[in-house]
Every structure is written in C-alpha cells, then in structure tokens.
C-alpha cells in the first residue's frame, strides 16, 4: 500500500490565484481530513469527510473547498489564495475501530502565498 499520498510537495502562489491540493489513499478508509499546521498552533482541522459524497467543515474552513467523489480521493481547493493561507497542509485518512482510531498522514504540502 502507498498509504496516503499528497501532491504537490511544495507550491508558491500569488495572492488571488487558485489551486488544488491533491490527496489520495489506498487503504479504503471512509474518513479523510485536511489539516493545516502553523508554528505554535498545532494541527487545525479544515474540512473532513466521512465517506464518498459527504463532507463537512472543521475548525478553519474559510477560503477552502473540498469534494469527495470517490473513497480514494479528497482534494482541497483554494479558491483565491491569501498570504494567511501560507502553511503546511496535511491530508489524513482514518481507520476507526471499536476502541478508537488511528490516523494515517500524508507527507504534507508546503504552500507559500506571496
């Protein structure tokens, strides 16, 4: 299994540009999520999905859209990039069991918005 893959690894955008961060997993997990990681703030949940066709907002959803047309893919779209969106973005899929759960993270995408 490749686990959770993310592309691109690095991206530089100008303010106002749009782009899509790709995320895919091959573990057949229903639950996927997107986080952003900023210094001193840990991980903050942007959006999540509990299955194909179902998405919901997390803690910091503004400026981001998601869709989940398949179990495998969960892209994150920045509609009009802003410097405040400079961050490291992590996609994760989750295996839920009776006692709890384990998250599997992608390697991250480093985004710089100028």
Q: Using CB under 8 A, list all residues that contact other proteins.
A: 4, 31, 40-45, 50, 90, 92, 94, 96, 99-103, 105-108
* Closer of 15 and 101 to other proteins (Cβ): 101
* Closer of 4 and 113 to other proteins (Cβ): 4
Q: How far is residue 27's CA from residue 86's CA, in Å, rounded to a whole number?
A: 29
Nearest approach in angstroms of CB 81 to other proteins is 22
Tell me 63's DSSP state.
T
Nearest approach in angstroms of CB 37 to other proteins is 8
- Cβ distance 50 to 33 under 8 Å? no
What is the chain's length? 114
* Closer of 19 and 43 to other proteins (Cβ): 43
Q: How far is residue 105's CA from residue 23's CA, in Å, rounded to a whole number?
A: 10
For the range 47-53, what are the long-range contacts, defined as Cβ-Cβ under 8 Å and sequence gap of 24 or more? 47/76, 49/74
* Closer of 19 and 45 to other proteins (Cβ): 45
């Amino acid at each position: 299994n490749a686990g959770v893959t993310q592309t691109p690894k690095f991206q530089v955008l100008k303010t106002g540009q749009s782009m899509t961060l790709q995320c895919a997993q091959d573990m057949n997990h229903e639950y996927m999520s997107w986080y952003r990681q900023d210094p001193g703030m840990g991980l903050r949940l942007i959006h999540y999905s509990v299955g194909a066709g179902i998405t919901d907002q997390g803690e910091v959803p503004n400026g981001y859209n998601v869709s989940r047309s398949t179990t495998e893919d969960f892209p994150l779209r920045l509609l009009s990039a802003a410097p405040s969106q400079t961050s490291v973005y992590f996609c994760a899929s989750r295996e839920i069991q009776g006692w709890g759960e384990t998250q599997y993270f992608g390697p991250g995408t480093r985004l710089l918005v100028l």
